[in-house]
């Protein structure tokens, strides 16, 4: 089953995401608390998909996408953020994110985004 890395500074969000992903049969193989941690864990765990928050300490999600994409141009990253502003969605997609799911998210929307990224 596909492996997912969760990057978000808030434990509550990752707990909800994990519940939804477990139920859908995905394996959460790790979680990161900021953009730097996400890069480290990406290198180490090689997840099939990363769920990436934007607002995080140390390094934000957009910069983290940039670094991960340099390391692995095929990285599948889906942004999951409350900041669903049009210009930020465009920026995330330009940097190589496959999708942008706005928080609070519908479980179905998140699962579909992951399934689509895995195709």
In the complex, which residues of this chain contact other proteins (CB under 8 A)?
9-13, 15, 55-57, 81-88, 91, 102-104
- Binds 82, which of Mg ion, other proteins, none (CB < 5 to 8 A, cut-off by type)? other proteins
Q: Give the span between the Cα atoms of 117 and 90, in whole angstroms.
A: 17
Looking at residue 95, the DSSP 8-state letter turns out to be T
Separation of alpha carbons 100 and 91, rounded Å: 10
Count of positions on this chain that bind Mg ion (CB under 5 A)? 3
Interface region with Mg ion, contact rule CB under 5 A, candidates 1-9, 22-30, 71-79, 87-95? 1-9
- CA 94, 100, 115: angle at the middle one, nearest 5? 110
What x/- string results for residues 60 through 99 when contact with Mg ion is judged by CB under 5 A?
Answer: ----------------------------------------
CA distance 10 to 25: 23
**Residue 74 interacting partner from other proteins, Mg ion, none (CB closer than 5 to 8 Å by kind):** none
Helix (H, G, I), strand (E, B) or coil at 34: coil
């Amino acid at each position: 089953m596909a492996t997912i890395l969760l990057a978000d500074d808030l434990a509550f969000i990752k707990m909800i995401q994990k519940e939804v992903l477990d139920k859908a049969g995905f394996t959460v193989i790790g979680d990161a608390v900021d953009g730097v941690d996400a890069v480290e864990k990406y290198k180490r765990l090689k997840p099939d998909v990363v769920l990436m928050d934007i607002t995080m300490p140390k390094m934000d999600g957009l910069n983290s996408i940039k670094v991960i994409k340099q390391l692995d141009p095929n990285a599948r990253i889906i942004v999951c953020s409350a900041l669903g502003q049009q210009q930020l969605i465009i920026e995330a997609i330009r940097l190589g994110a496959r999708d942008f799911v706005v928080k609070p998210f519908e479980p179905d929307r998140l699962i579909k985004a992951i399934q689509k990224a895995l195709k």
